Amino acid sequence: MRWAAGALSLALMATAATAAGPEGVPAGQHGAFAVMTDGANPPKVCFAVAAPQASEAKGVERKAAFLYVSTWAKDGIKSQISVRMGFAPYKGSEATLFVGDETFKLFASGDRLYVADPVRELKLLEALKKGAKATVIATSEKGVRATDTYSLAGLGQALLAVAKACP
């Protein structure tokens, strides 16, 4: 019975991932975060990904939004944080990510948001591991403000699974 529930969960993750956006091979679920790989053996890319628990973006046409923590094993990149907004933010604007009392500025590249400073990215990673939720606010090209709130439940376990899958 346990195996069947696990298989069903992985099948649902694969279906949701394909339909909703993050492409990859499911490698587990930890709280709000799915762990995915690129399917290579050994994996070259692994990531923890979560969809927002709440989203407010009236008047913005958008694709699915996701919070990623990615490892690019081949390139030696670990724990790269990005947020896919599902729309292109207003050119030249900064987005803001809040975790508890901490605020982090993000820059846009396409429909993704990133932390420019590696030191701030490490601080953000630590805040995400300790926090309960993260809120991202960005403005679309049409000037509409979008707010996405993510649960951080399971992120610590998901990051351990990512580190194991992509050492």
Q: Is the distance from CB of 90 to CB of 115 less than 8 angstroms?
A: no
26-62 confidence digits (pLDDT tens): 999 999 999 999 988 888 999 999 999 999 988 888 9
Q: Is the distance from CB of 104 to CB of 120 less than 8 angstroms?
A: yes
How far is residue 165 from each of residues 31, 36, 132, measured CA to CA in Å?
18, 9, 25
Question: What residue ranges do the domains of the chain occupy?
Answer: 2-165
Q: Is the distance from CB of 112 to CB of 66 less than 8 angstroms?
A: no
Q: Record the pTM.
A: 0.84
DSSP 133-162: EEEEEEEBTTS-EEEEEEE-TTHHHHHHHH
Q: How many CA atoms lie within 13 A of 41 on its CB side?
A: 0
76-110 confidence digits (pLDDT tens): 899 999 999 999 998 888 899 999 999 999 999 99
What topology does CATH give the domain 2-165?
Answer: Immunoglobulin-like (2.60.40)
